[in-house]
Amino acid sequence: MGVEKDILELANTFLSENESYPKGYMRVAIVHDWLTGMRGGEKCLEVFCELFPDADLYTLIHTNGSVTKIGELQGKI
């Protein structure tokens, strides 16, 4: 969980340093090339989905059941 921890720390630092933005001001879209298996990139993507649960998630290819909870986190792919 080293990379995931680093991403979370970086995001928390960014968010705490930029508290001047009103809550809900930042709109986020998450884009990933394909979701066909759970490898390193998908594990990082999962962390970003947890950080930004309201973000829209876009991908070119998605195979149902091929990734853990990424789709369920966003409720849409």
pLDDT at 24: 55
- How does pLDDT run across 35-62, given as a tens digit for each residue? 887 887 888 888 888 888 778 888 887 7
Query: What is the domain range of residue 27?
Result: 2-74
- For residues 43 and 75, what is the distance between their CA atoms, to the nearest angstrom? 17
pLDDT at 15: 63
- How does pLDDT run across 3-22, given as a tens digit for each residue? 667 777 776 676 665 555 55
Q: How many CA atoms lie within 13 A of 6 on its CB side?
A: 5
Number of separate domains in the chain: 1
